[in-house]
């Protein structure tokens, strides 16, 4: 910033005129001698062209943005992120192996923006390594479930299926479909008495026609490979894919299957 410096005190008579002449010698301009000519036009051809070009760019950009935002997937994301999140949560404490642990209880379907919502709730709850994420969900978006599971693992959290009642006690619940992927992210995965885990086939939605048949098969195989790699990374038996592929409907696993598949690492001991 250039400082405003007050010049040394000069009287009006000492002020300089043009080219350093004293004010008294400087001739005053004769307004009548001002050169005549056409007045300046504010909007010439160049200005008009620039405006039209800017309008065209905005129209093209706005059209593309509207086309993207009008897609069902985009609207589903913005609705789940900013309007009405599909998940809800509460916090509390639970005794795990005789030790008090903070709990973030998450319930509801896994929507299009669930992973971003989940990160924010974890930050707010200030869960530390070993604390518990309590899950109660029918499932939902596969991609969001995978990301949420990775977040759980990165933070060293324990997972368990259940809900918190009004007195802060854990009650049995269920976790199915994509929710199982979130549960699998736990470093420790507690099998809570009475709670249930449900799995089923994962497929890719696409138009059912001969032209798309080959793509559907390829996408389904790719999805299966992603799930298998994820489950193996989380320390779960690859046999989990057999349980998933058994039916398109939810298959509820019993406690023995859950432990045999290493989906749960231990029985809950409050």
Provide the pLDDT for residue 240: 96
Interval 251-268: pLDDT, tens: 999 999 999 999 999 999
Tokens of residue 35, six digits: 């050169």
66 or 198: which leads in pLDDT: 198
Provide the pLDDT for residue 7: 46
Provide the pLDDT for residue 90: 96
Residue 124 lies in a domain: yes
Residue 120 lies in a domain: yes
Query: Is the torsion defined by CA of 213, 214, 219, 222 positive or negative?
Result: positive
Q: What is the DSSP letter of 175?
A: E
Residue 8 lies in a domain: no
Q: What is the mean pLDDT of residues 181-208?
A: 87
The CA–CA distances, whole Å, from 223 to 24, 202, 205, 261 equal 91, 7, 11, 20
Instruction: Assign residue 143 the CATH number of its domain.
Output: 3.90.226.10
Residue 242 lies in a domain: no
Q: What is the mean pLDDT of residues 190-218?
A: 75
Q: What is the mean pLDDT of residues 22-39?
A: 50
Residue 218 lies in a domain: no
Residue 36 lies in a domain: no
The CA distance from 79 to 68, in Å, is 14
> Model pTM?
0.72
Provide the pLDDT for residue 72: 66
- Mean pLDDT across the chain, nearest whole number? 81
Of 91, 148, 90, nearest to 118 by C-alpha is 148
pLDDT above 60 (res 20): no
Provide the pLDDT for residue 221: 86
Q: What is the mean pLDDT of residues 63-89?
A: 76
Domain that holds residue 191: 79-200+252-267
123 or 17: which leads in pLDDT: 123
pLDDT above 50 (res 144): yes
Q: Could you tell me how far CA 186 lies from the centroid of its own chain?
A: 20
- 3-state SS assignment for residue 221: helix
pLDDT above 80 (res 57): no
Provide the pLDDT for residue 96: 81
Query: Per the structure, how many domains does the chain have?
Result: 1
């Amino acid at each position: 910033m250039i400082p405003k410096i007050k010049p040394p005190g000069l009287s009006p008579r000492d002020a300089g005129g043009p080219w350093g002449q004293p004010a008294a010698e400087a001739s005053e301009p004769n307004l009548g001698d001002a050169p005549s000519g056409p007045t300046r036009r504010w909007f010439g051809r160049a200005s008009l062209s620039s405006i039209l070009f800017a309008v065209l760019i905005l129209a093209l950009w706005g059209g593309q943005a509207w086309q993207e935002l009008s897609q069902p997937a985009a609207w589903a994301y913005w609705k789940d992120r900013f309007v009405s999140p599909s998940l809800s949560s509460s916090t509390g404490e639970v005794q795990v192996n005789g030790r008090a642990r903070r709990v973030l209880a998450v319930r509801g379907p896994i929507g299009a923006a669930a992973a971003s919502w989940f990160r924010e709730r974890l930050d707010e709850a200030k869960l530390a390594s070993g604390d518990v994420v309590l899950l109660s969900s029918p499932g939902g978006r596969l991609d969001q479930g995978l990301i949420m599971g990775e977040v759980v693992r990165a933070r060293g959290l324990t997972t368990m299926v259940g809900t918190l009642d009004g007195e802060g006690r854990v009650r049995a619940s269920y976790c199915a479909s994509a929710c199982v992927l979130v549960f699998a992210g736990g470093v420790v995965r507690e099998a809570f008495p009475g709670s249930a885990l449900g799995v089923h086939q994962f497929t890719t939605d696409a138009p059912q026609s001969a032209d798309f048949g080959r793509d559907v098969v390829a996408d389904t195989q790719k999805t299966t490979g992603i799930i298998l790699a994820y489950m193996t990374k989380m320390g779960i038996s690859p046999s989990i894919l057999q349980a998933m592929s058994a039916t398109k409907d939810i298959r509820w696993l019993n406690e023995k299957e859950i432990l045999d598949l290493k989906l749960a690492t231990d029985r809950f001991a409050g």
